[in-house]
Amino acid sequence: MVKRVFPYLGLLCAVVSVYIFIVNVPIKHNYINTFNQYNSHSALITSHRFRNARPTIDYLDDVSLKNEAYDVLDPHNQIRMATYNIHSAINPDGIVDVETVIEEIRQMDVDVIGLQEVDKFIYRSGFGNQAKVIADGLGMNYVYGETINILGIKYGNALLTKHEIIDWNNFKIPGFGELRGLLRCKISINGVHYNVFVTHLGLSYGERVKQIQALNEYMSIYDTRVVLMGDFNAQGFYPEMELLDTRMKDTAVIFDKEHINTFPFRNGQGGEADARTDYIFVTDDIRVVDYKVIPTLTSDHHKVMIVIHG
C-alpha cells in the first residue's frame, strides 16, 4: 500500500504548493520583523508626512519636476528612469487595478522603468500577463524576468522602455525563502548604451548579504553606464547596503533626499511611508540632474524617478 501511495506524494505536494501560491491574495510578508532587526537604528529613520492620506500624483518634496539644474538643457537629452514595486497592481482596497498603474507611469513620461512584484497568469490578479498589459497600454517595449515559475504561473520583475532593447538576461540570485532575481537589459537611447538592472531583494539580513554579493558579481562584467534599481527591502543605513559595489552611487544621496521615504514598514499599504527601501544607483559616468519620489495610487511602494542628462 505504501509503495502505491508514495509516488503520488510528490505530485500532491506540488499541487498544494501551486494552490497556496495562486490563491493567497495578496502575499503578506513579515515586514515588521525585518524592520525590528534594526531597532537600534530607529532614531535615524526620518518620516515624511503626506499632505493627503491618499495622495494624488505629485512629488513628495513639493517641488515641480522642472528645476534649474536641467531646465536649460536640451529636452531631447533628458532621460527619465524609474523604479516601481507595483504590488501585483493590488490597491489598498484589495482590488486589482492595472489601469491606474498604467496611468501613473504614463504621467511620469519615463524612458525606462523597472517593475517589481509583477504577476503572470496568477489567480489573485485575474490570470493576466501584467508586464505585457502595462507595456501595451503605454506603447513600450518590455522584458519579463520571472523569479518564481510554478507550472507556468509566474511572478517577478519587468523592465519597460520606449527605446530599443539590444539584449537581456535574467539571473537567479541566492535566497532562503521567496526566490529572487536580477533582470538586466542593455538599452540603446539616442545611440548610447545603458545596462539597466532591476531587482527585488529578500526580507532577511543574511539573504540580502548573499544577494548583494551576487549583484556585485554580475554588475562587474559591465564597465560603463550601469544603472541598478529596485526594492532592496533594506534602508540605507543597514550594514548590508555597505557591501554594494562602490561604483554604484545612490541617487537620493546625490541630491540630499535620502530622508524621503518610499514604503510604509509600520503603517501598512495606504499609510504613511516611514522607510526608504526603493533605490536607483548609477555609475559615475551617468550625469543625474534630478531625483524624485512620487506617491503611489495603487501599490504599497512609492515610485522613484531620476532624470539623466544624456
> What's the mean per-residue pLDDT of the chain?
83
Residue 224, SS3 per DSSP: coil
pLDDT in tens, 178-202: 999 999 999 999 999 999 999 999 9
Q: What would the pLDDT profile of 126-175 be if each residue is shown by its tens digit?
A: 899 999 999 999 999 999 999 999 999 999 999 999 999 999 999 999 98
For residue 108, pLDDT beyond 50: yes
Return d(Cα 211, Cα 205) in angstroms, integer: 10
Least confident stretch, 39-53, 153-167, 180-194, 218-232: 39-53
What local confidence, expressed as pLDDT, does residue 61 receive?
54
- pLDDT for res 30: 39
Other CB atoms within a 10 A radius of the CB of residue 159 amount to: 27
Residue pair 212/240 in contact by the 8 Å Cβ criterion:
yes
Sequence length of the chain is 310
- Assess whether pLDDT exceeds 50 at residue 272: yes
CATH superfamily for 31-309 is Endonuclease/exonuclease/phosphatase (3.60.10.10)
Report whether the peptide linkage leading into residue 239 is cis, meaning its omega lies within 30 degrees of zero: no
Report the candidate in 200, 110, 105, 195 with the shortest Cα–Cα distance to residue 161: 110
How far apart are alpha carbons 51 and 54 in whole angstroms?
Answer: 9
Cα 263 from Cα 183, distance rounded (Å): 22
Distances (CA, A) of 156 to 68, 103, 175, 199: 37, 21, 14, 9
Across-strand partners of 138? none
Give the model's pLDDT for residue 270: 79
Flag the least confident range among 26-35, 37-46, 64-73, 240-249: 37-46
